[in-house]
Amino acid sequence: MEKLTLIKVGGKIVEEPDTLQQLLRDFSSIDGYKVLVHGGGRSATKIASQLGIESQMVNGRRITDAEMLKVVTMVYGGLVNKNIVAGLQALQVNALGLTGADMNIMRSYKRPVKDVDYGFVGDVKEVNADVLASLIKQGIVPVLAPLTHDKQGHMLNTNADTIAGEAAKALAKYFDVTLMFCFEKKGVLLNEQDDESVIPEIDRVSFQKYVDEGIIQGGMIPKLENAFQAIDAGVKQVIITQASEIHKNTGTRVH
């Protein structure tokens, strides 16, 4: 199978003109088939606040009421997505901005209310991978915003890490997928105080060992559990790296 690199970058990188330009240059230099998934939470929070809408977060996730859904639809689907697409087109990358509603590529259902009512937040139900794969094979580079739809007329807010993971898993039927998560650090660190102490490779056995020894802890545990889940679903490798390193062979390789 042919190789595909699917890169997820967080909001911070894509929301500041300088870091965005560098990211787009690095992304454009990656060979072969590729997909970019972006966040945009900081801009959403900022614009919501300017509109007098308060951002409420629970467990790091945004509560999305009707007014906040309008904001994220504007900011993720419009402002952030189209600036990335225009920037990539200038670099001769044939980008196409997509939400899950476009060509029904990612359908979700509104998250059921349990302890928390997250509002208009979608959990992914189905990825239309053959449509995505066909675009990619035509030389198009999808730029995915963190928005899905319920196929009943409503947009839904969906976490960008989830979009990246679900797209990678679905595309694994068609490509040899490398899923790359960009992170503030250069990778998973042996020593949190030493930014250069990147663990080059982690498999399930070493993961368990690092967790037992307390080297891997906190938010990195669910991140790596998600990575192993993607591997189980057919993704070739997951790389945890820094946005500025996406075009280099660095970071932590999870396999």
**Binding residues for a second copy (CB under 8 A):** 47, 50-52, 70, 73-79, 81-83, 85-87, 89-90, 94-99, 101-104, 140, 147, 149, 151-155
CA-nearest of 121, 114, 80, 113 to 97 is: 80
Identify which of residues 70 and 247 has a Cβ nearer to a second copy in the complex.
70
Identify which of residues 19 and 89 has a Cβ nearer to a second copy in the complex.
89
d(CA 246, CA 242): 7
The three-class DSSP label of residue 50 is: helix
Annotate 171-216 with DSSP letters as a single string.
HTTTSEEEEEEEESSSSSBSSTT-TT-B--EE-HHHHHHHHHTTSS
Identify which of residues 78 and 234 has a Cβ nearer to a second copy in the complex.
78
The three-class DSSP label of residue 55 is: coil
Q: Closest distance between a second copy and the C-beta of residue 34, in Å? A: 15
Straight-line distance from the first to the last Cα atom of the chain, in angstroms, rounded to the nearest whole number? 18
Q: Closest distance between a second copy and the C-beta of residue 30, in Å? A: 18
Identify which of residues 133 and 190 has a Cβ nearer to a second copy in the complex.
133
Q: Closest distance between a second copy and the C-beta of residue 94, in Å? A: 6
Q: Does the annotation place 40 within a ligand binding site?
A: yes
Q: Does the annotation place 61 within a ligand binding site?
A: no
Binding residues for substrate: 40-41, 62, 157
